[in-house]
Amino acid sequence: MLTLALALTFAPRLFAKGEQAKLATLSSEISQLQKKLRTTRTEHDKSAADLRAIELQSAASRRQVLSLDKEIRLLGKEQGKLYAQQQQLDQQRQRQAGQVAQELAAAYRLGREEPLKVLLNLENPAELGRTLKYYEHIVKARSKIIEDYQSTLRELDNIGQSLLNKQNDLTNKRHQLQALHQSLKVEVQQRSALLKNSRQLISSEKGRLTKLSLERQQLERIIQTLQKHLQNLNIPDNQAFSQRRGKLPWPVKGRLGHSFGSARGSHLKWHGWLLRATEASPVKAIHHGRVVFSNYLRGQGLLIILDHGDNYLSLYAHNQVLLKETGDWVYPGDLIAKVGNTGGLERSALYFEIRRKGKAIDPKRWLKPRA
């Protein structure tokens, strides 16, 4: 376990310039392929392009929401710390105010005793020296008490201003968050209208199957392009994917909606699992590796693909938002996305595949059995 942790810790350092160049070439080729696949030819292609645009806009809005939520939580923590400091300083101020009052009363009494007259009447030089030192000590101590009190008052003023600034920041962030939620409501309505229009364009079962077949072909072309490049890339492999058969964690908490090999209509079959899950549920990496695709693909929505080395890939589709970029390293259990319904789904779900040498294999043989 320690060896694996060390390997993953130093993985970015092992990711040499040559590897980065290979990944850049892969990303460029994938990008060109996606542009080619997005070429609008029919009315349904136009509908798919519109759906892609609105789902990408919603994903961007959700990323902003996540960022604002994080900023608001941090501001709240900072505000809490400032309130605690303010309370401590106020208690300190009260104690110091009492000391200042005592010193002022003592100074008043000392003034009434006419200390200068007392000093002048002293005949013993040694006693005179000691008395002068005593008065000097009193003055210094009194000055220190007053300076500390003034310093506390200044700190309280500064913290008060900081709290005001934090409160203003929080108010602004909450207004931004509210505006984003309103935008998301509009985007959800627009998406719903686009899906309805898309369904109307495909009125027959034959049309639906043609659409699914086209989307599957596009995914296969992406996989083929990845496979061509990934065999030249290296991943630290202290615990090979092949050794984790039957031990891998599930990518999301959900129930199995469609299993590997089950019919999808006519000659089409499911090449992975469709896992029904609550919207925005965390999607986690099943094994360590590197992100080799993090983008939108027709029919798959927001899709992330991980390369685990030794010709193994895992795919996570229909996400609401992607939290990792191409080239990022991931650890087992890392949060990589959130469950959504992008790519044309009506209900939130995660479509999950495991591939070896480009060929889809049954996840059931690789994931831990559910209790």
Residues of the chain with CATH 2.70.70.10: 205-371
pLDDT at 3: 46
Which of these ranges, 36-50, 111-125, 127-141, 219-233, has the smallest mean pLDDT? 111-125
Residue 326 has pLDDT above 70, yes or no: yes
Does the global pTM surpass 0.75?
no
% pLDDT > 90, the chain: 27
Residues of the chain with CATH 1.10.287: 27-201
% pLDDT > 70, the chain: 75
Give the number of other Cβ atoms within 10 Å of residue 311's Cβ: 16
pLDDT tens for residues 280-293? 999 999 999 999 99
CATH topology of domain 27-201: Helix Hairpins (1.10.287)
Which of these ranges, 119-123, 168-172, 230-234, has the smallest mean pLDDT? 119-123
Residue 131 has pLDDT above 90, yes or no: no
pLDDT tens for residues 91-118? 888 887 787 777 667 666 655 554 555 5
How far is the CA of 52 from the CAs of 131, 180, 301, in angstroms?
89, 19, 8
pLDDT at 202: 67
Distance CA 162, CA 166 (A): 6
Architecture of the domain spanning 205-371 = Distorted Sandwich (2.70)
For 3, counting Cβ atoms within 10 Å of its Cβ (0-12 exposed, 13-18 middle, 19+ buried), the class is: exposed
Could you write out the DSSP letters of every residue in 66-112? HHHHHHHHHHHHHHHHHHHHHHHHHHHHHHHHHHHHHHHHHHHHHHH
pLDDT at 111: 55
- Nearest in space to 50 (alpha carbons), one of 188, 186, 191: 191
Residue 67 tokens read as 């960022």
Residue 328 has pLDDT above 70, yes or no: yes
Q: What is the mean pLDDT of residues 199-223?
A: 76
pLDDT at 251: 97
pLDDT tens for residues 242-299? 899 999 999 999 999 999 989 886 678 899 999 999 999 999 999 999 999 999 998 8
Give the number of other Cβ atoms within 10 Å of residue 185's Cβ: 10
- Nearest in space to 296 (alpha carbons), one of 320, 274, 261, 279: 320
Distance CA 162, CA 157 (A): 9
Distance CA 27, CA 327 (A): 9
Task: pLDDT band for 1, please (50, 70, 90 cuts).
Answer: very low
Q: What is the mean pLDDT of residues 22-51?
A: 68
Could you write out the DSSP letters of every residue in 191-246? HHHHHHHHHHH--SHHHHHHHHHHHHHHHHHHHHHHHHHHTT-----SS-GGGGTT
